[in-house]
Structure formats: structure tokens, C-alpha cells
Amino acid sequence: MKNKMKKYSLGILGALACILLFIAGPGRIEAKAEFSLPYKDSVFEYYVYPDSNAFTITKLRSNAATITIPKTITYNGRQLHLYEDMSQPIAYNLFKDKKNVKKVIYSEGIERIYGCQNAGSVQTVVLPNSTKYIDAYAFYDCTSLTNINIPDGIYHIGNSAFSGSGITTLKVPSKVRRIMSSTFSRCKNLDTVEIPNGVTKIGSSAFAFSGIKSISLPKSVTSIEDSAFRDCANLATVKISSKVEYIEQLAFMNCTSLKSFSIKSTKLKRVGYDAFKATPKKVKFSLPKSKRSSYKSMLKKAGASKKAKFK
């Protein structure tokens, strides 16, 4: 009986120890690893990470016309660097309520661009040549943004990075391999787009509801994903490259100004549901002679008008 009680008591103690380790262990270790000190100057507020000589930007204090995002700061005699390995090296919506800020400069050495979301007053952004990565939502709803340089060293532009911004022209960097979801959606002033050879996919809603007037896809593109050009009311001319295999559902729906659509690819396997719904009745489709009959059938099933011209 005593042995049973002893075992029972040990079992309870063991269970309690496990619970305490579960509660205290991982959380406290993580908290210790993320230990930081607040710091501020006349422009920003920061968190400083003593063990790694790094900092993040948490708040913009200044409302000056031009703001420079630093790569390094000096704290207690030590030089610290922007902690770009974190999920948010620069606070989300940093410029949202700063109505006087017109220009944002990211310092040379910064590789990852973040933190300019909803900056409705910002008109100009200067990116350094060191830029490699534009984060998702980086310039989301920057409605006044019309002037931005896009360094050719950039290899990734994230989802919705420029969605709702005021950009008018765009040359996608040569190292980019995919236009991500909604990257340039709702860019009403976007007129001209240059997509380099090497891009393989146009992501879902990538240019939806934008102002583009024409698009010519390079031969590297194999897939146009769902709603990619949906509701582009000014889109008149489209040229599809020779390797495209998929035009997914709703891809060109409600492109009400569409006049000519050229398909050079002989590898087209699918045109998705309603991909051409509500496009003009007299669109001229230029198709490969060897595929004219089968492509014509696919396009009509996808919503192209029976009165459209297929040649």
C-alpha cells in the first residue's frame, strides 16, 4: 500500500513538473532571446537587441517632408544595424498618419523593403541599389506614390506589394521569376508594364482592376493564373507568349476595352471558367493555324463572344 502511495505521489509530482516546464520553458526562453530595449531619437523610436547589435524601427516621430530609413544607428557608443531577419524590421503602417511626409529614402545597404503601407501622402520613394526583396504589402495603398526606382538587383516582389498605389509605369527587374498575387492590383494609374523574359507565372489577380492598356508576355511565361487581368477596363491589346499552357478562370473577365488578343502558344491546355466573360463582342483573336479550331472552342466555352473573330 505504501509503495502504491509513493508511486502515486511521484506520478503527481512528475506531472506537475511537466506542466511547469511546458508553461515556463519555451515561452521564457523565447522571451529572453527576444529581450529588447526601447530607444528613440528625433525621428524614430526603436527596439535595440543588445545581444545581436541590431535594432528595429517601431514608430515614426517626425513629420518632416523627407524621411530617411537608416541602415545603422549609434546607441551607447555602439553601431547597430537594422534587423532585417525579423518578420517586421520596420513597423507596419509606419507612415500612415504622417500627412506631411512626401519622400521616403531607404539607405544604401538595406536589402529588404518594408513599412510604407497606407502612406497616402508619400509621392516619391528612393530604393538603394542593395535592395533584393520588396515585402508583401510594402507599398499597399500608397495612393500618391508616382515616383519610385526599381533596382535591377531585386529578385522578389511580394503579394500586394504595390496594390492600390499610384504608380504609372513599371519595369519588372530581370531577376524576378514570378509576378505574385495581387502585386499590382487596383493600380488605377498604371499605364505601361514591361515584364522581362524569365518570368514564368502571372499570379492570381496580379494586375486585376489596374489601368494597363496593353500587355505583352515574354516567351518564358507558362501560366496566367485566376483573375490575373480581371476588370482591367482600359486593356485593349494582349499578346500571349509561345509557351503559355494555362489561362485560368476569370483571367480576362470584364476587360471591356479588349480589341485584339494574340496567342502564339501551341501548348495551351486549358482556358478556365469565364476567363473571357463580358469581353467585347468583336474581339479579334489571332490563333496558331494548327490549333485554330480547338482554341476557338476553348475560348467560346470560357466566355468569348460568338461574334468574336478568330483568325
Question: Mind listing the pLDDT tens digit for each residue in 177-211?
Answer: 999 999 999 999 999 899 999 999 999 999 999 99
Q: What is the distance between the alpha carbons of residues 221 and 244, in angstroms, rounded to a whole number?
A: 6
The dihedral of CA 43, 45, 47, 48: what is its sign?
Answer: positive
| pLDDT score for 35 | 65
Give pLDDT < 50 ranges for the chain.
1-33
| pLDDT score for 42 | 95
| pLDDT score for 34 | 53
Distances (CA, A) of 220 to 48, 104, 154, 288, 309: 45, 34, 18, 18, 27
Buried b (16+ CB within 10 A) or exposed e, 253-268: bbbeebeebebbbeeb
What is the set of domains in the chain, with CATH numbers? 88-310 (3.80.10.10)
Residue 40: which H helix or E strand, with range? strand 37-40
Return the closest-CA partner of residue 138 out of 191, 175, 90, 192.
90
| pLDDT score for 116 | 92
pTM recorded for the entire structure: 0.86
| pLDDT score for 108 | 97
| pLDDT score for 88 | 86
Burial class (CB in 10 A: 0-12, 13-18, 19+), 235: buried
